[in-house]
Structures are given as C-alpha cells and as structure tokens.
Amino acid sequence: MNNYSRHFIFFALLMPGHLLLGSKYWCPKGHFNLNQHNFFQKLARDVKPKYALETGFCTGRSASSLLEAAQLKTFISIDINLDYIKPEGRIFAQLLQKDFPEFKLIEGDSKVVLTNDFFAENFPHGIDWVTVDGDHSYAGCLHDLEVSSAYVSEHGIIIIDDYRSSGPDGVSIPHVTSAVDYFCKHHKEFKITVWNHRGKGFAILTRCETQDTIINRVTSSSD
Ligand SMILES: C[S@@+](CC[C@H](N)C(=O)[O-])C[C@H]1O[C@@H](n2cnc3c(N)ncnc32)[C@H](O)[C@@H]1O
C-alpha cells in the first residue's frame, strides 16, 4: 500500500461523507462540501453543459462533481497554486486528467490565463458552465466574472461559490458577495438565483429563461 492509499483510508475513516459518496474522485480534503456536491450534480444533470470553465481547482471537489454528472466535451480548470493543499491538489489534478480526457488543468493566475486568445482557442462554441471559485478578493472575483461572462453561451450559467456565505458550514467572504452584486448591477441581462445550505452559498447567474426555470426548480428542491 503506498502512502497515498494510507492517507486516503485514514481520511475516509475520519470523514464519513467521503465513504457515503463512494467516489474515488472526491478528495478527503477540500473547500467544497457534500451538500454543494449534491446540488452541483442535480443542476448539471438538468443544465447539461458541454463546455465548462472553472477558476479555483484546489483539490478538485467541484471539478469532479461536475465531471461525474455531465457529458462534457471540454472542461478547463485554472488554479494559481496546486500546492494550496499539498499533496492532494496535484494528486487529484493528475487523476482527473487521466480518467477524464475532456478535462485539462492549467496552473496559473486566472488574471493572466484568461485572455481573448485563450477563449478563442479553447471555447469557440462559448461556455455553458462557469464555476468561479479562485481568487476570492473583490477584484479577483469580479475579473473572473467579467472576462468569462463575455464568452458564456446563450444558455450558459455562471456559479459563484461563497456568495453570502456564513456559518456554520461556510465563512463570510464579503468581497465575493460585493463583486457579484456589482457585476449583476452592471449586467442586468443576467438574473441571479441564490442557493444557501447551512451557510454555504452559491450565486447562480443566467440570462436564459429555460435555464432560469431549471435553476429555480433545483434550488428550491435542494434547500
Ligand atoms: C476555495 S479554493 C477552491 C475550491 C475548489 N473549487 C474545490 O472544489 O475544492 C480556491 C482556490 O483558488 C486558487 N486561486 C486563488 N487565486 C487564484 C487566481 N488568481 N487564479 C487561479 N486560481 C486561484 C487557490 O490556489 C485555491 O486552490
């Protein structure tokens, strides 16, 4: 048994949620909980994204939740530091890229990586699902929202983690909430829906009525 397997079993025993989930892609450590995982999967099954982008991979919990629930053609996640949680970040980045050929991880700053050339090359059909969970500063979150929203497809959605978060399960990150509120104020075409369970919150944005109906249904059945 290698070191990672020992580590895996140790954390699996410590964290019953991991055993309940029963997926080898769910890292025992991370900043995304099981309620969020369940919500992501329900939403992904109904929204049916083909092209996805994420800022903030960390240990890949949000990424694997989406990969397992959707039939994606392209999914790129960007993280400035895969050692943010060490060694799990790199282990899960490698595992997901091996098992899901549609998945690619780029280690870099989203403010540098997300250029017009990047979008033209990787998302010529637009993006159906964006997860914003990287830089949690006001400027960082707003940047990720502004640049990615320009390439979101007509029926696309943007999910921002930690919107209006608080205890017991989340922590308050007012910069993220303010960035999302500022973005929505200046992009009236996007409608916002809020999901929150025990303080862990998402803002979900879309400008498509069909997706809005789906988001509302999934959100109200997952409170
Ligand atoms: C809250 S964690 C993301 C959790 C992740 N979505 C999950 O499910 O485990 C935030 C991550 O964003 C990354 N990050 C911070 N600033 C960034 C930036 N400017 N560009 C890309 N990633 C960034 C950090 O390295 C960290 O791994």
The predicted-structure confidence for 44-89, as pLDDT tens digits, reads as follows 999 999 999 999 999 999 999 999 999 999 999 999 999 999 999 9
The model carries a pTM of 0.93
Q: Please check whether residue 55 lies inside any domain of the structure.
A: yes
Interval between CA 178 and ligand 1 midpoint (Å):
18
Q: How many CB atoms lie within 10 A of CB 168?
A: 7
Ligand 1 atom with least separation from CA of 79: 22
Interval between CA 147 and ligand 1 midpoint (Å):
17
Cβ within 8 Å of residue 139, ≥6 positions away: 179
Q: Please check whether residue 17 lies inside any domain of the structure.
A: no
Q: What is the CATH number of the domain that holds 41?
A: 3.40.50.150
pLDDT of residue 4: 52
Q: Whose CA is nearest to atom 16 of ligand 1?
A: 135
Q: Please check whether residue 161 lies inside any domain of the structure.
A: yes
d(CA 192, CA 149): 13
Q: Please check whether residue 5 lies inside any domain of the structure.
A: no
Q: Whose CA is nearest to atom 17 of ligand 1?
A: 135
Count of domains for the chain: 1
Q: How far is CA 104 from the centre of its chain?
A: 14
- Between 57 and 7, the more confident residue is 57
d(CA 174, CA 176): 5
Q: For residue 199, is pLDDT > 80? A: yes
Q: How far is CA 41 from the centre of its chain?
A: 11
Confidence of residue 223 (pLDDT cuts 50, 70, 90): confident
The domain in which residue 173 lies consists of 30-222
Q: How many CB atoms lie within 10 A of CB 6?
A: 10
Interval between CA 110 and ligand 1 midpoint (Å):
10
Q: Please check whether residue 52 lies inside any domain of the structure.
A: yes
